[in-house]
Structure 1
């Protein structure tokens, strides 16, 4: 089976979020299971020079974007054992960032068209194209419509993964027609019309053979009006082809026993973990205390992450015998709240604004608890990293948080963290206080941590689920090919 991931970002080359972790880690896990898995992505100007120097030119060709013929280069490199293809166009991709530009729709229409055109120049066409999020959502649509006449591509299966339904690639109807070079038929039966606009993600939801998202609960949630972002009806219609598969983490990179960012390597020793807590307290200027519970937050500082709940009860939380460490950036409103709290109560809270991977790892290792009260969370990786570093998660029961964190039950001794259902600040505070109370019972706390240790956070389990999905799709496409049905 030959599989090609189509993604706008992938570690270790370009990253803004969890999509990059999936596109970087899942192909490696699949290769271990015998799949010829590769990745195609834009050749951003920010890709590290060490990777750029490995790229070998394969072809140059032109791509029609509206009435313009745009240059496209196709390059290839082996990165961490995985074949990567790069779509090169400096006008679109040699910029300071990955996204956030006024012409983002045009940039990724070009990318989608270029990926399909690039199939002509690859040694062997893939059996399956696995596309990710709105930036690549036109690929399944274009493959079956604009390029539906290309017989040798008819047997290629398509999978589309929704990482966050909130971002759909919505643009003007005339603009999309102009960019892809198609007429009004683009908005007909199974078309891309969306409340008077055009919706790129809708193309994949209509035309991809299989749909996935990043947790079973999120797969259920997005079929409801509350979480469906206007596409819930279509997702219910495609429910038989929609699967929720929880993301994994790179357990080699994120290994508290072999993480160079940590002061003291540890596995299951609470004594060694607490040495990392003391070191973190010392690094950030907090009073050093093994016995004081330390709560960590590593997050984008935005509404989605439930920070309005934290802000609402921050004073009450800091009145507890607790310390809080926050790392992240985002909404100036939340940055201001945490900055003011750090200045007014420096013995209780420290906030570090920006991205710092080493410090993030030390927070996972040094914190006793990890707070993640998200409004919605398709999967979430932070709670998995917290569990990996033996920090007990406190989460709201939504999306992947509900699927991976089970609230501790004193009667049965089961559960690897703490959770609350209602999106309510005092429900969150009550749950934190419950965790703080049980923290002081060393035996119970060790039990909660040991429950978390039993979980498999690697890509192994997820890769098995994807393998089953790919094999089902490959069989279905083969049967259709034999019967002469596209």
Structure 2
């Protein structure tokens, strides 16, 4: 079986978030099941030269968008055993970061056209085109409208995965009408129209053959008004074609026994794991105290991730004698408040603004607990990584967090972490205090929690099998 992934980022070439980790790891897992995967990405200027040195130039063509006629080069790269096709246009993609520009609509309409044209230039068309998030939502639309006359295209099936419904690629109807060269019939309620504008996410939801999202609970949540981001009606209509498949992590990369970023490598020894804590405390300027419970946070600093709850809970957490190590960036409001809090709690609170892969791994490995109070979470990878590094997660019961972290039951001895329901600082503090009690007063119970988490499988094997079954059902 031949499957194409079309996405806006992917490890190891370019990463801004969890989407890239999925695009980097899932093709390898599918390859192990006999599925040949090609990943189509923009050829960003930020892709390291080391990956481009052996890139094979496959040719060029031109893309017409309204009155525009744009050059498109095509390069082939092998990375981590996966075939990548890179869409080259320096005007659109040779920029400092992948997203956040005023012409993002034009850039990703171009990318969608270019990906379809690249497919048509292959000797063998893919059996399935698997698109990811709003940046590629127009690909299923183009295959079922503009390119529907191509006889070979008619047998190509499409899957569209929602990684985060909040980001939808909503633009003016007039702009997308110009870029796509389509008439008014493309902007009806059962097509691209979205409250007077146009939505690229909705294009994927309407025109793909099958829909997936990244956890079973999130698949149910997004069919409600609370989590559906005004697309819950569309998702309820397509509920029969929607499935939630949990993300995994690359367990070879995230391995505490081989991770070169760690100060001390370990497997199942809590004593060895805890040798990482004083080294991280020194690195971040925290008080070097082996007995102080260290709570890690690696996240975008936005409301979705519950940073308002963290800030509201900070005085109580500091009064408990806990330390907090935070890595991330995002909303300037949260960054400012955290900057002020550092001065109030020297030695207890450390914040690294930005992203540092090595430091992130050291926080996962060195912390005693990992905090994720997300207001919603499609899947989440950080809680899986923390469990992989024998760090106990404290999470809110939503989406993939609910599906991957089992609350500890002290009577049965089951569970892998601590969870709370309402999105309130009160419930967060109560749950952290409960975790601290077991950490400080019941070391055997704490060891049981850690060991429970160590027994779980966080790789892609099970999820890759579910995707394979989905693909084969479509092709059949």
Measure the CA separation in 2 of the matches of 1:198 and 1:321.
50
Question: Which residue does 2:372 correspond to in 1?
Answer: 372
Residues 187 and 193 in structure 2, CA contact (< 8 A), matched pair in contact too? yes
Tell me which residue corresponds to 1:483.
Answer: none
Q: How does 1:307-456 map to 2 (within 5 A)?
A: 307-440=307-440, 441-456=442-457
Measured on the aligned residues, the alpha-carbon RMSD in Å equals 1.0
| Equivalent residue number for residue 462 of structure 2 | 461
SS in 1 for 2:320: coil
Listed as ranges, the matches of 1:190-229 within 5 Å are: 190-229=190-229
1:67-106 alignment to 2 at 5 Å? 67-106=67-106
Other structure's SS at 1:154 match: helix
C-alpha separation between the residues in 1 aligned to 2:285 and 2:94? 40
TM norm structure 1:
0.96
Task: Give 3-state SS (helix, strand or coil) of 1:166's partner.
Answer: coil
Residue 268 (structure 1) aligned with residue 256 (structure 2): no
Secondary structure class of the residue paired with 1:370: strand
How far off is 1:323 after superposition? 1.2
C-alpha displacement of 1:130: 0.2
Distance in 1 (alpha carbons) for counterparts of 2:240 and 2:206: 13
* Inter-partner Cα distance in structure 2 for 1:218 and 1:340: 35
How far apart, CA to CA, are the structure 1 residues paired with 2:172 and 2:246?
34
1:221-254 deviation line (CA, Å, top 9, x unaligned): 0000001011101101111110111111111111
Q: Is the 8 A contact 1:59 1:121 kept in 2?
A: no
5+ long unaligned stretches in structure 1: 476-486
Which whole-Å CA distance do the structure 1 matches of 2:358 and 2:120 have between them? 42
1:265-324 CA deviation, whole Å, 9 max, x = no partner?
A: 111111001100121112222222222211111111111110101111211110002111
Using a 3 Å threshold, how does the CA distance of structure 1 residues 131 and 344 change in structure 2: closer, same or farther? same
Moved more, 331-340 or 380-389: 331-340
Superposition misfits of 4+ residues, deviation over 6 angstroms: none
Task: Answer whether contact 2:313 2:428 (CA < 8 A) is retained.
Answer: no
1:136 corresponds to 2:158:
no
Hey, what's the Cα distance between the residues in 1 that align with 2:162 and 2:415? Answer: 28
Which structure 2 residues correspond to residues 7-46 of structure 1 after superposition, within 5 A? 7-46=7-46
Residues 93-149 of structure 1 show CA distances to partners (whole Å, capped at 9, x for unaligned) of 111110000000110001111111112222311000000000000000110111111
Q: How many residues align?
A: 475
TM superposition shift of 1:189:
6.5
The CA distance in 2 between the partners of 1:57 and 1:284, in whole Å, is 45
Contact 2:274 2:366 in 1 (8 A): yes
| Local SS of the residue matching 1:78 | strand
CA displacement at 1:439 relative to structure 2? 0.6
Cα deviations across residues 26-59 of structure 1 (Å, max 9, x unaligned)? 0011001110111011111111101112211112
TM-score of the aligned structures, taking structure 2 as reference length:
0.98
Q: Mind listing any 5+ residue stretches in structure 2 that lack a counterpart?
A: none
Distance 2:369 2:267 in 1: 16
Mapping 1:179-190, distance limit 5 Å: 179-188=179-188, 190=190
